[in-house]
């Protein structure tokens, strides 16, 4: 009678090995992009805007990110809309810090730069007027 080895359970030798010797972790750029977008969208003054293609409404979207570079030298490019009249300079500074922190905390990546392009200023929604 032959037995089978449970390959899902790490061996004692695997547990003693240094982390670098156990294997590699590769996080896809689309995941890093989503982390950056989510971090930017957490900012209170970052707003979702309506998406329109050829004049047809396609729902809403928040920040859009593009991530390039190696994991220890990431370059993040963000397009986002801010609430008007938000203080743009301090809001963008806060977003940059949050994106850097989240990519480091969640994925262990170092961010070299976060370029932010404010694509719109959206006024607070006002209550409908009754005439």
> What tens digit of pLDDT does each residue of 74-129 get?
999 999 999 999 999 999 999 999 999 999 999 999 999 999 999 999 997 765 66
pLDDT tens track for 7-34:
555 555 666 777 767 788 889 999 999 9
CA distance 71 to 56: 38
Residues 32-86 have pLDDT tens digits of: 999 999 999 999 999 988 766 667 666 678 999 999 999 899 999 999 999 999 9
pLDDT at 49: 83
**pLDDT score for 5:** 47
If 0-12 CB within 10 Å is exposed, 13-18 middle and 19+ buried, where does residue 9 land? exposed
Per-residue model confidence (pLDDT) at position 61: 81
Contact 78, 68 (CB under 8 A): no
pLDDT exceeds 80 at position 4: no
Does residue 6 register a pLDDT over 60? no
Residue 129, pLDDT score: 63
Contacts of 50 (CB under 8 A, 6+ apart): 57, 59, 60
Can you give the C-alpha Rg of the chain in angstroms? Answer: 22
């Amino acid at each position: 009678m032959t037995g089978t080895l449970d390959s899902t359970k790490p061996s004692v030798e695997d547990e003693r090995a240094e982390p670098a010797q156990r294997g590699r972790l590769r996080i896809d750029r689309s995941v890093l992009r989503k982390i950056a977008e989510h971090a930017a969208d957490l900012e209170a003054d970052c707003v979702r805007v309506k998406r329109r293609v050829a004049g047809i409404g396609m729902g809403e979207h928040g920040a859009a990110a593009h991530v390039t570079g190696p994991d220890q030298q990431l370059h993040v490019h963000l397009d986002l809309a801010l609430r008007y009249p938000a203080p743009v300079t301090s809001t963008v500074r806060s977003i940059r810090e949050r994106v850097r922190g989240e990519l480091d905390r969640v994925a262990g990546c170092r961010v070299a730069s976060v370029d932010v392009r404010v694509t719109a200023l959206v006024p607070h929604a006002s209550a409908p007027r009754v005439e």
